[in-house]
Structure 1
Amino acid sequence: MSNNFKGGRGRRKERGPRTNDQIRIPECRLMSDEEQYGVVSIDKAREIAEELGVDLIEIAPTAKPPVVKLMDYGKFKYEQQKKAAEAKKKQAKVQLKEIQLRPNIEAHDLETKLKKAYKFLENGDKVKFVMQFRGREMAYKDMGKEKFESILAGVCEEASAAIESPIKMMGNRIITIVAPVKKK
Protein backbone atom coordinates (compact mmCIF):
# COMPACT_ATOMS: atom_id res chain seq x y z
CA MET A 1 0.00 0.00 0.00
CA SER A 2 1.41 3.41 -0.94
CA ASN A 3 1.60 6.51 1.24
CA ASN A 4 0.27 8.74 -1.53
CA PHE A 5 -3.30 8.77 -0.21
CA LYS A 6 -4.64 12.32 -0.29
CA GLY A 7 -8.24 11.65 0.69
CA GLY A 8 -11.33 12.10 -1.44
CA ARG A 9 -12.26 9.91 -4.38
CA GLY A 10 -9.27 10.37 -6.61
CA ARG A 11 -10.36 13.80 -7.81
CA ARG A 12 -7.55 16.15 -8.59
CA LYS A 13 -7.54 19.52 -6.90
CA GLU A 14 -9.01 22.03 -9.32
CA ARG A 15 -6.95 25.11 -10.08
CA GLY A 16 -8.77 27.72 -12.09
CA PRO A 17 -11.49 27.24 -14.66
CA ARG A 18 -11.88 24.10 -16.73
CA THR A 19 -10.46 24.25 -20.25
CA ASN A 20 -10.76 22.33 -23.53
CA ASP A 21 -11.14 18.57 -22.81
CA GLN A 22 -11.84 19.13 -19.10
CA ILE A 23 -15.22 20.64 -19.99
CA ARG A 24 -17.73 17.75 -19.90
CA ILE A 25 -21.16 19.24 -20.58
CA PRO A 26 -23.52 18.45 -23.49
CA GLU A 27 -24.04 22.09 -24.57
CA CYS A 28 -22.85 25.56 -23.66
CA ARG A 29 -23.31 29.23 -24.45
CA LEU A 30 -20.30 30.03 -26.64
CA MET A 31 -18.81 33.49 -26.99
CA SER A 32 -15.59 35.24 -27.90
CA ASP A 33 -14.37 38.82 -27.61
CA GLU A 34 -15.86 39.70 -31.00
CA GLU A 35 -18.81 37.36 -31.47
CA GLN A 36 -21.71 35.61 -29.70
CA TYR A 37 -22.29 32.08 -31.04
CA GLY A 38 -25.31 31.27 -28.86
CA VAL A 39 -26.06 27.83 -27.39
CA VAL A 40 -24.05 25.11 -29.19
CA SER A 41 -22.97 21.55 -28.46
CA ILE A 42 -19.58 21.15 -26.78
CA ASP A 43 -18.30 19.22 -29.83
CA LYS A 44 -19.20 22.14 -32.12
CA ALA A 45 -17.50 24.55 -29.67
CA ARG A 46 -14.32 22.43 -29.74
CA GLU A 47 -14.37 22.46 -33.58
CA ILE A 48 -14.69 26.28 -33.65
CA ALA A 49 -11.87 26.62 -31.10
CA GLU A 50 -9.61 24.34 -33.15
CA GLU A 51 -10.34 26.30 -36.36
CA LEU A 52 -9.49 29.60 -34.65
CA GLY A 53 -6.47 28.14 -32.83
CA VAL A 54 -7.64 29.17 -29.34
CA ASP A 55 -8.75 27.44 -26.15
CA LEU A 56 -12.20 26.87 -24.68
CA ILE A 57 -12.44 28.32 -21.17
CA GLU A 58 -15.43 27.74 -18.90
CA ILE A 59 -16.21 31.24 -17.59
CA ALA A 60 -19.53 30.69 -15.74
CA PRO A 61 -19.94 27.00 -14.84
CA THR A 62 -23.08 27.56 -12.74
CA ALA A 63 -25.06 29.37 -15.46
CA LYS A 64 -27.77 27.50 -17.37
CA PRO A 65 -26.31 26.55 -19.86
CA PRO A 66 -22.69 27.13 -18.73
CA VAL A 67 -20.83 29.98 -20.46
CA VAL A 68 -17.69 29.04 -22.40
CA LYS A 69 -15.37 31.59 -23.99
CA LEU A 70 -12.97 31.27 -26.92
CA MET A 71 -9.61 32.79 -26.05
CA ASP A 72 -5.95 32.02 -25.44
CA TYR A 73 -5.61 30.38 -22.00
CA GLY A 74 -2.24 32.06 -21.32
CA LYS A 75 -3.77 35.48 -21.99
CA PHE A 76 -6.72 34.61 -19.72
CA LYS A 77 -4.41 33.59 -16.84
CA TYR A 78 -2.34 36.77 -17.31
CA GLU A 79 -5.47 38.96 -17.13
CA GLN A 80 -6.63 37.14 -13.98
CA GLN A 81 -3.24 37.72 -12.33
CA LYS A 82 -3.33 41.43 -13.23
CA LYS A 83 -6.84 41.79 -11.75
CA ALA A 84 -5.75 40.03 -8.55
CA ALA A 85 -2.65 42.23 -8.25
CA GLU A 86 -4.71 45.38 -8.78
CA ALA A 87 -7.23 44.31 -6.14
CA LYS A 88 -4.39 43.58 -3.71
CA LYS A 89 -2.92 47.06 -4.25
CA LYS A 90 -6.23 48.69 -3.37
CA GLN A 91 -6.53 46.84 -0.06
CA ALA A 92 -5.77 48.97 2.95
CA LYS A 93 -3.50 47.28 5.47
CA VAL A 94 -4.25 48.74 8.88
CA GLN A 95 -1.86 47.85 11.67
CA LEU A 96 -2.34 48.25 15.40
CA LYS A 97 0.50 50.19 17.02
CA GLU A 98 0.89 50.51 20.77
CA ILE A 99 1.92 53.52 22.87
CA GLN A 100 2.63 52.83 26.55
CA LEU A 101 2.27 55.58 29.12
CA ARG A 102 2.74 55.91 32.88
CA PRO A 103 0.57 58.10 35.13
CA ASN A 104 3.51 60.31 36.19
CA ILE A 105 5.00 60.74 32.70
CA GLU A 106 7.03 63.91 32.19
CA ALA A 107 5.87 66.51 29.66
CA HIS A 108 8.75 66.01 27.22
CA ASP A 109 8.41 62.20 27.30
CA LEU A 110 4.68 62.53 26.66
CA GLU A 111 5.34 64.93 23.77
CA THR A 112 7.76 62.40 22.19
CA LYS A 113 5.27 59.54 22.51
CA LEU A 114 2.43 61.66 21.11
CA LYS A 115 4.54 62.65 18.06
CA LYS A 116 4.95 58.94 17.37
CA ALA A 117 1.20 58.39 17.82
CA TYR A 118 0.39 61.24 15.39
CA LYS A 119 2.73 59.70 12.83
CA PHE A 120 1.00 56.31 13.18
CA LEU A 121 -2.46 57.87 12.81
CA GLU A 122 -1.30 59.91 9.80
CA ASN A 123 -0.16 56.68 8.12
CA GLY A 124 -3.64 55.20 8.64
CA ASP A 125 -2.75 52.83 11.48
CA LYS A 126 -4.75 52.36 14.66
CA VAL A 127 -3.05 53.20 17.95
CA LYS A 128 -3.59 51.33 21.21
CA PHE A 129 -2.91 53.55 24.22
CA VAL A 130 -1.98 51.75 27.44
CA MET A 131 -1.40 53.44 30.80
CA GLN A 132 0.17 51.08 33.31
CA PHE A 133 0.16 51.57 37.07
CA ARG A 134 2.85 50.08 39.31
CA GLY A 135 3.23 49.88 43.06
CA ARG A 136 1.97 52.99 44.87
CA GLU A 137 0.57 54.40 41.60
CA MET A 138 -2.33 51.94 42.04
CA ALA A 139 -3.69 54.17 44.81
CA TYR A 140 -4.09 57.04 42.32
CA LYS A 141 -5.95 55.29 39.48
CA ASP A 142 -8.59 58.03 39.35
CA MET A 143 -6.01 60.76 38.74
CA GLY A 144 -4.30 58.55 36.17
CA LYS A 145 -7.59 57.96 34.38
CA GLU A 146 -8.28 61.71 34.22
CA LYS A 147 -4.81 62.32 32.78
CA PHE A 148 -5.35 59.46 30.27
CA GLU A 149 -8.67 60.95 29.13
CA SER A 150 -7.15 64.42 28.70
CA ILE A 151 -4.27 62.95 26.65
CA LEU A 152 -6.76 61.09 24.43
CA ALA A 153 -8.89 64.21 23.96
CA GLY A 154 -5.80 66.09 22.78
CA VAL A 155 -4.79 63.27 20.42
CA CYS A 156 -8.27 63.01 18.89
CA GLU A 157 -8.42 66.77 18.35
CA GLU A 158 -4.87 67.18 17.04
CA ALA A 159 -4.75 64.14 14.73
CA SER A 160 -8.44 64.17 13.70
CA ALA A 161 -8.95 60.69 15.12
CA ALA A 162 -11.73 58.96 17.03
CA ILE A 163 -11.75 56.63 20.01
CA GLU A 164 -12.68 53.26 18.55
CA SER A 165 -13.09 51.23 21.75
CA PRO A 166 -14.21 52.59 25.12
CA ILE A 167 -11.64 53.22 27.84
CA LYS A 168 -11.30 50.05 29.95
CA MET A 169 -9.63 49.33 33.27
CA MET A 170 -7.98 45.92 33.11
CA GLY A 171 -6.15 45.14 36.32
CA ASN A 172 -3.30 47.63 36.59
CA ARG A 173 -3.81 49.04 33.07
CA ILE A 174 -6.12 51.48 31.31
CA ILE A 175 -6.54 50.62 27.62
CA THR A 176 -8.22 52.14 24.58
CA ILE A 177 -7.82 52.12 20.80
CA VAL A 178 -7.77 55.27 18.68
CA ALA A 179 -8.35 55.09 14.90
CA PRO A 180 -7.86 57.78 12.25
CA VAL A 181 -11.03 59.33 10.85
CA LYS A 182 -11.42 58.27 7.23
CA LYS A 183 -11.33 61.15 4.77
CA LYS A 184 -14.04 61.05 2.12
Structure 2
Amino acid sequence: MGFGSSNSKNYDKKLYTNEYIRGDKILLIDEEGVNLGIFSKRDALLKAEEEMKDLIQVGFDPKDKIVTAKIMEIGKYLYSKKKEDGEKKKSQKSKCMKEIKFSYNIGDNDLEMKISQAKKFLESGHTVKFLGQLKGRENIYADKLYSRLEYIMSLLIDISKGQGIKKEKRGYSMILFAKVK
Protein backbone atom coordinates (compact mmCIF):
# COMPACT_ATOMS: atom_id res chain seq x y z
CA MET A 1 0.00 0.00 0.00
CA GLY A 2 2.66 2.58 0.85
CA PHE A 3 4.87 4.10 -1.79
CA GLY A 4 7.95 6.17 -1.14
CA SER A 5 8.33 9.86 -1.61
CA SER A 6 8.94 9.80 -5.37
CA ASN A 7 6.97 7.44 -7.58
CA SER A 8 7.63 8.32 -11.19
CA LYS A 9 10.55 9.37 -13.36
CA ASN A 10 8.31 11.77 -15.29
CA TYR A 11 7.45 14.03 -12.35
CA ASP A 12 9.87 16.58 -10.97
CA LYS A 13 7.63 17.32 -7.99
CA LYS A 14 7.83 14.81 -5.18
CA LEU A 15 4.70 12.87 -4.45
CA TYR A 16 4.07 12.24 -0.77
CA THR A 17 1.88 9.28 0.15
CA ASN A 18 0.71 7.56 3.32
CA GLU A 19 3.21 7.77 6.19
CA TYR A 20 5.54 10.00 4.12
CA ILE A 21 3.08 12.91 4.32
CA ARG A 22 4.63 15.63 6.48
CA GLY A 23 1.76 17.14 8.38
CA ASP A 24 -0.21 16.63 11.56
CA LYS A 25 -3.52 18.02 10.31
CA ILE A 26 -4.89 16.55 7.09
CA LEU A 27 -7.88 17.78 5.10
CA LEU A 28 -9.26 14.60 3.51
CA ILE A 29 -10.92 14.45 0.10
CA ASP A 30 -12.35 11.28 -1.44
CA GLU A 31 -11.96 10.16 -5.09
CA GLU A 32 -14.98 12.17 -6.25
CA GLY A 33 -13.62 15.35 -4.65
CA VAL A 34 -15.99 15.40 -1.64
CA ASN A 35 -14.53 17.09 1.44
CA LEU A 36 -14.49 14.62 4.37
CA GLY A 37 -13.12 17.07 6.96
CA ILE A 38 -9.90 17.62 8.89
CA PHE A 39 -8.30 14.58 10.54
CA SER A 40 -5.12 13.88 12.44
CA LYS A 41 -2.44 12.09 10.43
CA ARG A 42 -3.03 8.83 12.29
CA ASP A 43 -6.83 8.93 11.80
CA ALA A 44 -6.42 9.79 8.12
CA LEU A 45 -4.08 6.83 7.61
CA LEU A 46 -6.56 4.52 9.38
CA LYS A 47 -9.42 5.78 7.19
CA ALA A 48 -7.37 5.16 4.03
CA GLU A 49 -6.41 1.71 5.29
CA GLU A 50 -10.08 0.85 6.00
CA GLU A 51 -10.95 1.64 2.39
CA MET A 52 -7.82 -0.25 1.21
CA LYS A 53 -6.58 2.81 -0.65
CA ASP A 54 -3.67 5.22 -0.38
CA LEU A 55 -3.45 8.68 1.12
CA ILE A 56 -1.96 11.06 -1.50
CA GLN A 57 -0.90 14.63 -0.72
CA VAL A 58 -2.30 17.03 -3.34
CA GLY A 59 -1.75 20.35 -1.59
CA PHE A 60 -0.43 22.22 1.43
CA ASP A 61 -1.61 25.43 3.12
CA PRO A 62 1.49 26.97 4.76
CA LYS A 63 -0.59 29.59 6.59
CA ASP A 64 -2.74 27.10 8.53
CA LYS A 65 -0.22 24.23 8.17
CA ILE A 66 -2.87 21.88 6.84
CA VAL A 67 -2.08 19.20 4.25
CA THR A 68 -4.75 18.42 1.64
CA ALA A 69 -4.80 14.71 0.81
CA LYS A 70 -6.90 12.46 -1.41
CA ILE A 71 -7.95 8.93 -0.58
CA MET A 72 -7.53 6.89 -3.76
CA GLU A 73 -5.38 4.23 -5.37
CA ILE A 74 -1.92 5.49 -6.27
CA GLY A 75 -2.05 3.90 -9.74
CA LYS A 76 -5.29 5.68 -10.59
CA TYR A 77 -3.88 8.98 -9.36
CA LEU A 78 -0.67 8.67 -11.40
CA TYR A 79 -2.65 7.67 -14.51
CA SER A 80 -5.00 10.65 -14.24
CA LYS A 81 -2.06 12.99 -13.55
CA LYS A 82 -0.19 11.70 -16.61
CA LYS A 83 -3.30 12.08 -18.77
CA GLU A 84 -3.85 15.63 -17.48
CA ASP A 85 -0.23 16.57 -18.21
CA GLY A 86 -0.56 15.14 -21.73
CA GLU A 87 -3.58 17.35 -22.39
CA LYS A 88 -1.68 20.43 -21.17
CA LYS A 89 1.25 19.54 -23.40
CA LYS A 90 -1.03 19.15 -26.44
CA SER A 91 -2.54 22.59 -25.98
CA GLN A 92 0.90 24.18 -25.60
CA LYS A 93 2.32 22.59 -28.74
CA SER A 94 -0.43 23.77 -31.05
CA LYS A 95 0.50 27.47 -30.87
CA CYS A 96 3.98 27.54 -32.34
CA MET A 97 5.78 29.88 -34.72
CA LYS A 98 5.41 29.26 -38.44
CA GLU A 99 8.13 30.53 -40.72
CA ILE A 100 7.54 31.70 -44.30
CA LYS A 101 10.63 32.36 -46.43
CA PHE A 102 10.82 34.20 -49.72
CA SER A 103 13.24 36.10 -51.94
CA TYR A 104 13.11 39.73 -53.11
CA ASN A 105 12.19 38.61 -56.66
CA ILE A 106 9.21 36.42 -55.72
CA GLY A 107 6.36 36.57 -58.21
CA ASP A 108 3.16 38.40 -57.26
CA ASN A 109 1.08 35.23 -57.48
CA ASP A 110 3.51 33.29 -55.27
CA LEU A 111 3.55 36.11 -52.75
CA GLU A 112 -0.27 36.12 -52.63
CA MET A 113 -0.18 32.36 -51.97
CA LYS A 114 2.24 32.86 -49.08
CA ILE A 115 0.06 35.66 -47.66
CA SER A 116 -3.06 33.46 -47.80
CA GLN A 117 -1.14 30.68 -46.03
CA ALA A 118 -0.06 33.17 -43.36
CA LYS A 119 -3.71 34.25 -42.94
CA LYS A 120 -4.67 30.63 -42.22
CA PHE A 121 -1.88 30.32 -39.65
CA LEU A 122 -2.83 33.59 -37.94
CA GLU A 123 -6.53 32.70 -37.84
CA SER A 124 -5.70 29.43 -36.10
CA GLY A 125 -3.70 31.34 -33.47
CA HIS A 126 -0.12 30.74 -34.62
CA THR A 127 2.66 33.30 -34.75
CA VAL A 128 4.07 33.85 -38.25
CA LYS A 129 7.62 34.91 -39.08
CA PHE A 130 8.25 36.22 -42.58
CA LEU A 131 11.87 35.86 -43.62
CA GLY A 132 12.99 37.78 -46.72
CA GLN A 133 16.31 36.43 -47.90
CA LEU A 134 19.06 38.13 -49.87
CA LYS A 135 22.07 36.21 -51.18
CA GLY A 136 25.37 37.72 -52.21
CA ARG A 137 24.94 40.58 -54.68
CA GLU A 138 21.18 40.65 -54.11
CA ASN A 139 21.87 43.03 -51.19
CA ILE A 140 21.45 45.92 -53.61
CA TYR A 141 17.73 45.04 -53.74
CA ALA A 142 17.23 45.34 -49.97
CA ASP A 143 14.80 48.26 -50.43
CA LYS A 144 12.62 46.12 -52.73
CA LEU A 145 12.51 43.34 -50.10
CA TYR A 146 11.70 45.86 -47.37
CA SER A 147 8.77 47.25 -49.38
CA ARG A 148 7.45 43.67 -49.93
CA LEU A 149 7.43 43.12 -46.16
CA GLU A 150 5.63 46.45 -45.63
CA TYR A 151 3.04 45.35 -48.22
CA ILE A 152 2.54 42.02 -46.41
CA MET A 153 2.14 43.81 -43.06
CA SER A 154 -0.45 46.21 -44.52
CA LEU A 155 -2.53 43.28 -45.84
CA LEU A 156 -2.44 41.31 -42.56
CA ILE A 157 -2.79 44.21 -40.09
CA ASP A 158 -6.51 43.51 -39.50
CA ILE A 159 -5.89 39.97 -38.14
CA SER A 160 -2.43 40.42 -36.62
CA LYS A 161 -0.12 42.75 -34.79
CA GLY A 162 3.51 43.04 -35.78
CA GLN A 163 6.81 43.79 -34.11
CA GLY A 164 8.08 45.68 -37.11
CA ILE A 165 10.65 44.81 -39.74
CA LYS A 166 14.12 43.89 -38.52
CA LYS A 167 17.42 43.73 -40.38
CA GLU A 168 18.84 40.19 -40.34
CA LYS A 169 22.22 38.82 -41.36
CA ARG A 170 20.95 37.94 -44.86
CA GLY A 171 17.86 40.05 -45.42
CA TYR A 172 14.92 41.19 -43.33
CA SER A 173 12.43 39.50 -41.00
CA MET A 174 9.06 40.37 -39.56
CA ILE A 175 7.08 38.60 -36.84
CA LEU A 176 3.28 38.80 -36.79
CA PHE A 177 1.22 37.72 -33.78
CA ALA A 178 -2.38 36.59 -34.07
CA LYS A 179 -4.83 39.06 -32.54
CA VAL A 180 -6.71 37.65 -29.56
CA LYS A 181 -10.43 37.57 -30.24
In structure 1, list runs of 5 or more residues that go unmatched: 1-11
SS of residue paired to 2:161: strand
Q: Corresponding residue for 1:28?
A: 25
Partner Cα separation in structure 1 for residue 137 and residue 83 of structure 2: 59
8 Å contact from structure 1 (residues 96, 126) kept in 2:
yes
Q: Does 1:76 align with 2:73?
A: no
Range that drifts further, 27-36 or 51-60? 27-36
Q: Which residue identity does 2:28 align to in structure 1? A: M
* Residue 148 of structure 1: aligned partner: 149
CA contact (8 A) 1:30 1:70 kept: no
Residues 74 and 126 of structure 1: CA distance in aligned 2, closer, same or farther (over 3 Å): same
1:14 partner amino acid: S
Q: How does 1:7-22 map to 2 (within 5 A)?
A: 14-15=6-7, 16-22=14-20
Distance between the aligned counterparts of 2:88 and 2:6, measured in 1? 23
CA deviation profile, 1:101-138 (whole Å, cap 9, x unmatched) = 23232222222322332233233322221222345543
Match of 1:121 in 2: 122
Extract unaligned runs of 5+ from structure 2.
8-13
Distance in 1, matches of 2:22 and 2:128, equals 54
Q: Distance in 1 between matches of 2:43 and 2:5?
A: 28
- The 8 Å contact of residues 128 and 176 in structure 2, kept in 1 or not, is answered as yes
Question: How far, CA to CA, are the matches of 2:173 and 2:139 in structure 1?
Answer: 15
Match of 1:176 in 2: 174
Pair 1:66–1:125, CA change in 2 (3 A):
closer
Other-structure match for 1:9: none
> Identity percentage over the alignment?
32
Q: Please state if 1:38 is matched with 2:41.
A: no
Q: Secondary structure at the match of 1:50?
A: helix
CA contact (8 A) 1:20 1:55 kept: yes
Partner of 2:53: 54
CA contact (8 A) 1:98 1:130 kept: yes
What's the offset of the Cα at 1:174? 1.4
Classify 1:68/1:172 alpha carbon distance in 2 versus 1 (closer, same or farther; 3 Å). Answer: closer
CA contact (8 A) 1:32 1:71 kept: no
* Bigger Rg, which one: 1
Distance 1:29 1:153, change over 3 A: same
One-letter code aligned to 1:130: L
The 1-side partners of 2:73 and 2:128 are apart by 48
